[in-house]
Chains A and B, each alone.
Chain A
């Protein structure tokens, strides 16, 4: 069976580590490497957290610390420090990603579990990289509520300009929002989940970056199941933009679900609503799925991970 090739772009909160572990334990998937980004932590801290997981699982992978800050602004939150020693490749994340894409015969799926900055830099520097990307699967964004503010999801908010670029870069962009992966009140606490899993997860959790309020809920691993069990997921195709100038809504993902794209006045003075054109639909929005069923798949695949019990 041909395995689907993946690159992870992530930070190292426990939710993301579980998502990476899910991919490593899935026979349908092959992880080519991991780049890390800024967010609540510095990319080096995140890379160390990823290394801790890989070491516990007995897996060797390239791990590269990526961009330190967003495109247009200073870091949007105080960066939490928690230095952990670990092996990090000394190269630019976007150069490594591009070389890896070019070296792959098949197209590669990018699992974006963090901010947009690394991918934005790659597509700026190497526009032809787009041809080698199967799709970007972004586990983040929110169309009904926010995480870090009342209107924005932290993964967008930390580099909203970068995310706006990435959503319009011409690469198929799939978004598994926090609306569908957890909902506001329906989420599973990550720490409790890891405790229940047992195995190496206690050690990993101790070495990974600590959870902050916005990241305490299990989300990203559920999105990963769409790569191994596509039959359980559906998508809507919409226009979507990131609000970059709102005083209250900076970093809010605005989706044109109602299909209207403003009002124009015709020559005869009649005012009509304009539908969103097909060419302007830039995201595939993951619909609600059976969370219990998908959780069961996640639990089954990563539940039995013991020391050095790496890729299945």
Chain B
């Protein structure tokens, strides 16, 4: 059997509950070669995010992947985190029995990322699960890295009406609109996975999660503890029973199984001035402003409706390392 070539990727995460699941999925996925993971703020602080990443990688036996902390604050605006969804420590108040630090790099996130990309013989993919601050900082410090980046996949951006960060902004843009704008204008092969078009459609029922992780011993208990907190804060256990998204996980699947998704090229930029719409990512889906093909700077991703159940099953298996 010929060895399947693995896809090289670097992950940047504000490691809260859903990020933890996505990192477990990516680190154990047989088709992925994770070169590094960097920590950012958003769901929690950069410090907690980096700790949570290190502990999650220890849990799945991937302490060989170097982990680095990025910036603790956005470029311009004040830091905001989401303890009301992810708990104060980012992982639903779950306390890891010990803090693993073996994989912690002494480098800054952007320096480690740059070095790993330049060392790799092929172009490297980049998945941003949180605000784009670390990526923007790398692009600013090392503009030449652009040529070495393959796909940049972003869990963030939102069509109007689907937003969660403010009245019209997606959380991951709202946390650092200036960095997002810088990245959007950097001329990358940028793929936008929004909540409304991708992640909210891949739902997980509590029963199936209990069944899936029930046979994964202590690790399964940790997963369920975190997800119960996260789902609870999102209102999953109030009112009618409904399936809930684990937002960052389908974004990993987009890199591995792009055939489950569709994309279209559109123009997107971020509003930085308006007080009512600060941080809004204006995705001109119908090209009302008349952008040329060259000006269309993102691939707007949608999940195929008939693939959502399949993806949910693959994700649950993948978090356990069973793909």
Contact between A145 and B288, CB atoms less than 8 A apart = yes
Instruction: Pick the interface stretch among A28-36, A116-124, A224-232, A253-261.
Output: A253-261
Q: Are A143 and B160 in contact (CB under 8 A)?
A: yes
B69-89 CB contact bits vs A (8 Å, 1 = yes)? 000000000001001100000
**A255 contact set on B, CB distance < 8 A:** 167
Q: How far is the CB of A266 from chain B (nearest CB, A)?
A: 12
* B284 engages A246 (CB within 8 Å): no
From B161, B271, B272, B273, A143 is in contact (CB under 8 Å) with B161
* Most A CB within 10 A of own CB, among B161, B167, B269, B288: B167
Nearest Cβ distance between residue B271 and chain A, in whole angstroms? Answer: 5
Most buried by B among A143, A255, A258, A271: A258
Indicate if A44 sits at the interface (CB-CB under 8 A): no
Chain A residues with CB below 8 A from B159, complex form: 144
Q: Knowing A145-B286, A149-B288, A250-B274 are in contact, say whether A257-B161 is a contact too (CB < 8 A).
A: yes
Contacts known (A144-B160, A273-B84); A254 close to B288, Cβ less than 8 A: no
List CB contacts (< 8 Å) of B273-290 with chain A.
273-277, 280, 282, 284-289
- Asked if B168 is an interface residue, CB under 8 A from chain A, the answer is yes
- Tally inter-chain residue pairs, CB-CB below 8 A: 81
Question: Contact at B271–A249, with CB atoms within 8 Å?
Answer: yes
Contact B271 A271 (CB under 8 A): no
Contacts of B15 in A (CB 8 A): none
List, in ascending order, chain A residues with CB within 8 A of B161's CB: 143-144, 179, 257
Q: B276 contacts A254, CB within 8 Å?
A: yes
Whether the Cβ atoms of A254 and B277 lie closer than 8 Å is yes
Q: Let me know if A263 is at the binding interface, CB within 8 A.
A: yes
Kindly state whether residue B323 has any CB partner on chain A within 8 Å.
no
Contact A150 B282 (CB under 8 A): yes
> How near does chain A come to B182, taking the closest CB pair, in angstroms?
15
C-alpha gap A163/B163 in the complex (Å)? 23
CB of B164 within 8 Å of the partner chain: yes
CA distance A226 to B272 in the complex (A): 38
Chain A residues 216-253 with CB under 8 Å of chain B are 241-250, 252
B29 smallest CB distance to A (angstroms): 33
Contact call B276/A243, Cβ cutoff below 8 A = yes
Is the interface on chain A under 10, 10 to 19, 20 to 34, or 35 or more residues? 20 to 34
Q: How far is the CB of A248 from chain B (nearest CB, A)?
A: 5
Query: Looking at the complex, which one of A144, A247, A271 makes contact with B83 (CB distance below 8 Å)?
Result: A271
Given A258-B164, A271-B83: A246 and B277 interface contact (C-beta under 8 Å): yes
Cβ–Cβ contact B277 & A249, under 8 A: yes
A272 in the interface, Cβ–Cβ < 8 Å?
yes
Residues on A with C-beta less than 8 A from B84 are 271-273
User: CB within 8 A of B274: which of A147, A247, A256, A273?
Assistant: A247
Q: Inside 8 A of A258's CB, which chain B residues have their CB? A: 163-164, 167
B167–A184 CB distance below 8 A: no
Pairwise interchain contact B285-A145, C-beta atoms closer than 8 A: yes
Q: By the criterion CB–CB under 8 Å, are A243 and B163 in contact? A: no
| C-alpha spacing A243/B277, complex, angstroms | 7
Question: What residues on B are CB-neighbors of A181 within 8 Å?
Answer: none
Q: Per a CB cutoff under 8 Å, which of A145, A147, A246, A263 touches B271?
A: A246
Give the distance in Å from the alpha carbon of A105 to the alpha carbon of B280 in the complex.
46
A120 to B19 CA separation, bound complex (whole angstroms): 49
Bound CA span A245–B161, Å:
20
Is A146 interfacial (CB-CB < 8 Å)? yes
From 281 to 316 in chain B, residues with beta carbon under 8 angstroms from any chain A beta carbon are 282, 284-289
Contacts of A249 in B (CB 8 A): 271, 274, 276-277, 280, 282
Least distance between B170 CB and chain A CB atoms (Å): 12
Taking CB as reference atom, which chain B residue is nearest A239?
A: B167
Q: How far is the CB of B320 from chain A (nearest CB, A)?
A: 33
Given the known inter-chain contacts A144-B161, A149-B288, A272-B84, please indicate yes or no for A254 contacting B282, CB distance below 8 A.
Answer: no
Contact A246 B289 (CB under 8 A): no
A151-193 interface code vs B (CB 8 A; 1 in, 0 out): 1000000000000000000000000000100001000000000
28 contacts between A and B (CB under 8 A): A144-B159, A144-B160, A145-B160, A145-B286, A146-B288, A147-B288, A149-B288, A151-B160, A241-B276, A243-B277, A244-B276, A245-B273, A245-B274, A245-B276, A246-B274, A246-B276, A248-B282, A249-B271, A249-B277, A249-B280, A250-B274, A252-B277, A254-B277, A257-B161, A258-B163, A258-B164, A258-B167, A271-B83
Shortest Cβ-Cβ A-B pairs, 4 listed: A246-B274, A150-B284, A243-B276, A249-B277
Interface positions of A (Cβ within 8 A of B):
143-147, 149-151, 179, 184, 241-250, 252, 254-258, 260, 262-263, 271-273
Told that A145-B286, A260-B166 touch, could you supply 11 new A-B pairs with CB distance under 8 A?
Answer: A149-B288, A150-B284, A150-B287, A151-B160, A179-B161, A242-B276, A244-B274, A245-B276, A249-B271, A255-B167, A260-B167
